[in-house]
Structure 1
């Protein structure tokens, strides 16, 4: 099972001006650095919580379907399933009829239940599920707690940017960051 992003977000949940207000900066000389910190903070929050903050495309590649016929999609919230493709023994692709599966997007993780799908003809990554995930197209759609967690990370990383090299980052997470993302983290029993 392999999950990877196919379409990157068109925007960031936190704007450059919001980050600069948090940092109390009024010059433009470090805008590129701050933009990179915003992007890194979004990716960290998404990875830590299994979320897609801004609308983006994802692909889940499977060797075969589980016996239960239920596949868990590893990003939340899932907005829609775009396609399910099964590859034959010669590598030919065939789309699965959307009537043969049903999405439960309210669960976390989202579940895709199949009634019947042909077995793939290739041994590895014979089934691909393309789906769209995210809270919306704009930062205003993202919950405030997650945006605040991003701003806390940006401020922390900005403050300690000269203490450690880029290869050593992130060295630490600020106090309170874990508390901000805790309600959004997936828990396992």
Structure 2
């Protein structure tokens, strides 16, 4: 199974002004492009850390997920959440030939813990021997920072500030307790072995 991020979050969607305000940077100090680049890098690192810890996608991005077998014949739980749409389902044979499945044969089951691609009939399309299925989908709370739940947004700002303020001594450090507390309720609940 290979999950590929097809798009990245545009710089304009990042809360750079909020981070500057949080850090209480002076106007002359925070106006330089070099400083903005550094702050953006720490914001992106903080977002990645929060997404990795929770399995959530904060800002809307496109993904492609290639897999060689369905976990269940009639549904496949998607690897990240929240999922906004399933854009295409493509079957790829051993020789690389592609067959795009009609959207009427599947649908997205929205779920806060386990969003899934679900068959409309009895089963999802059969994956060819030696081939794969590629699911293209869009995940994230939305395209702008205000779409992100407040506790997750606060955790990102706190972590970005932590990265910024301790940039010379962050090797091997774990997430601070305050940030872990904010993230705890967003961690994925695993029941029945993640089924």
Q: TM-score, normalised by structure 2?
A: 0.86
Q: Does 1:101 align with 2:106?
A: yes
User: Which of the residues 61, 64, 85 maps onto 1:56?
Assistant: 61
Closer, same or farther in 2 for the Cα pair 1:107/1:21, shift >3 Å? closer
Structure 1 CA distance, aligned partners of 2:94 and 2:190?
Answer: 37
Contact kept in structure 2, 1:149 and 1:177, CA below 8 Å? yes
Taking a change above 3 Å as real, the CA distance of residues 89 and 123 of structure 1, as seen in their structure-2 partners, is closer
Q: Distance in 2 between matches of 1:82 and 1:11?
A: 24
Aligned position for 2:126: 119
Partner of 1:141: 147
Tell me the residue number matched to 2:163.
Answer: 157
Q: Which shifted more, 76-85 or 114-123? A: 114-123
User: Which residues of 2 match residues 54-93 of structure 1 at below 5 A?
Assistant: 54-93=59-98
Q: For the residues of structure 2 that align with 1:130 and 1:8, how far apart are their CA atoms?
A: 15
Q: Distance in 1 between matches of 2:124 and 2:89?
A: 10
Count of aligned pairs: 184
Residues 174 and 67 of structure 1, relative CA distance in 2, 3 Å threshold:
closer
Q: Which runs of 5+ in 1 are unaligned?
A: none
**RMSD across aligned positions (CA):** 1.9
SS at match of 1:146: helix
- Which residue matches 2:46? 41
Give, in whole Å, the separation in 1 of the partners of 2:70 and 2:54. 25
